[in-house]
Amino acid sequence: MSLWIHNAWIPNQGQVNIIIEENIIKAIGPDLAPLPDSHRLDAEHMVAVPGLINGHTHAAMTLLRGYGDDMPLMEWLETRIWPAEARLSEEDVYWGTKLACLEMMRSGTVMFHDMYWNYHGIARAVEEMGIRAGVGAIMIDVAGPDQANTFKKLTQQLWEETSQYSSRIRYELSPHAIYTVSTDSLRWLADFSEKNDVPVHIHLSETFQEVSDCLKKYSVRPAHYLNDVGLLTPRTFLAHGVHLDDEELDLIAEKGATLVTNPVSNLKLAVGGIFPYSEAAKRNIPIALGTDGTASNNTLDLFQDLKTFALIQKHADQDPTTLPAQDAWDIATGARAPLLGVTSTLAAGEVADLLLLRRDLLEITPEHDLVSNLVYAATGHVVDTMIVDGRVVMQNRHVPGEEEILHEARQRAHKLAGG
């Protein structure tokens, strides 16, 4: 199957046609004729850009959006989130993830990296929605060795079962955090990751309490502890990283790990610090952007996090030149985090993951600087069409099955909340 995108505008290239064959961009140019039997997609008044990459979220928590807002972090977890999650079924996770996919598609995210329960519920939802995801085999073993052994067996089982899904589903290890996973289990995961070349997705240094507890228990800060157990590698991406000091940043740079900042969630939960972007960038540490879950954000519109990310870094440095729009956009599209696994370039030979954005909307007018408009003015509302793996998964902001998704999600969320 081939796709002919007619009259799209690409920054620095102008008005072009794009030919996609199977899942690859075959050619881009102003006078390209369609291949025989190509499907035509008119892109007049639209700009073609790479899709956004959400580096850290808990997708099915869409079912808990607004459930327990404006509370301290641990009280929120212990009295609202964890009790509700204990009632989650795989079908709840499936529909919550479909709702998350719908929201992310409407706001331009072509791939997200998830950390949640019920691997197959998540994978089925993503497969059906047509986008990409890194789906985690989560591990928590605070209950002791029996729980650890259960999760180890599950990790191996899911690794073997993930082949039933398409290449849009990427298997990842997801130890929750250094304070919820034992040293023995973290070492076991490090070995599994190395032997099977599997990425590792973990929370790190989100709160000062985590740092303080790590120092008391292990006499080192969290990044050094993670390195001691063998999990600070080029296969590792670290969510949050708010409370990292200079020595930890030096170590992360040396080991080649990736940092994923979640500015809106961190502000809403008042974690007591701001991600050290300038220091990380100075060390050439790979950086990505994430929303975290909707229970702590409360949206999956990465455009909103993008603006907050840029502004808070300028504020922290007291320097308006910090994190200019193009750098922020590169981070949001995955160009600064190769581990996240998606191309950020619209070019012949690349996988066809791209967005068509409306150029005739208020947020894009006037067009002195398109990227500046996207970072500082736009929301996900500017996204009209999404193509993932060469297939149109959303056109004119319509996603097949959205009415059923909204209905099922409402019903299940109401039940989870005790209604």
CATH number at residue 144: 3.20.20.140
Same-domain check for residues 226 and 111? yes
Spatial strand order in the sheet of 258-261: 52-57, 109-114, 132-139, 169-175, 200-204, 236-240, 258-261, 287-289
Residue 417 located in a structural domain: no
Whether residue 273 sits in one domain with residue 228 = yes
350 inside domain:
yes
Is position 378 within any domain?
A: yes
In this structure, the answer to whether residues 173 and 215 fall within a common structural domain is yes
Confirm if 107 and 300 have CB atoms less than 8 A apart: yes
Number of domains in the chain: 2
* DSSP 3-state of 239: strand
CATH number at 388 reads 2.30.40.10
In a domain, 326, yes or no: yes
Q: Are residues 332 and 359 in the same domain?
A: no
In sequence order, what are the beta bridge partners of 113?
A: 134
Residues 122 and 192 in one domain: yes
In a domain, 409, yes or no: no
333 Rama sector, left if φ>0, alpha if ψ -120 to 50, beta otherwise: alpha
Same domain (yes/no): 232, 95: yes
How far apart, in whole angstroms, are the C-alpha atoms of residue 100 and residue 129? 10
Count H helices and E strands in the chain, helices first.
15, 16
Same domain flag for 44 and 170: no
* Residue 22 sits in the same domain as residue 64: no
Contact 130, 388 (CB under 8 A): yes
CA distance 346 to 353: 8
* Statement to judge: residues 356 and 311 lie in one domain: no
Give the pLDDT score at 419. Answer: 54
| Boundary (domain end) residue, out of 295, 316, 340 | 340
Is 312 domain-assigned?
Answer: yes
Structure tokens at 343: 């191309």
pLDDT at 81: 86
**Where among 340, 370, 388 does a domain terminate?**
340
Whether residues 12 and 93 fall in one domain: no
Domain assignment present for residue 410? The answer is no
20 domain residue, yes or no: yes
Place of tokens 């019903």: 411
Domain boundary among 340, 369, 388: 340
Q: What's the rounded Cα separation, in Å, for the pair 219 and 158?
A: 35
The predicted-structure confidence for 349-403, as pLDDT tens digits, reads as follows: 999 999 999 999 999 999 999 999 999 999 999 999 999 999 999 999 999 999 9
Whether residues 19 and 70 fall in one domain: no
Give yes or no: residues 162 and 285 share one domain.
Answer: yes
- Position 135 scores a pLDDT of 98
Domain range for 123 is 52-340
CA 374 to chain centre: 18
Q: What is the DSSP letter of 61?
A: G
**Cα separation of 265 and 417, whole Å?**
21
Mean pLDDT by 10 residues, the chain (419 residues): 94 94 96 91 96 98 93 84 90 98 98 97 98 95 97 97 97 97 98 98 97 98 98 98 98 98 96 97 98 96 98 98 98 96 86 96 94 98 97 98 97 85
Is the pTM higher than 0.75? The answer reads yes
Predicted local distance difference test score (pLDDT) of residue 77: 81
The answer to whether 414 and 92 are in contact (CB under 8 A) is no
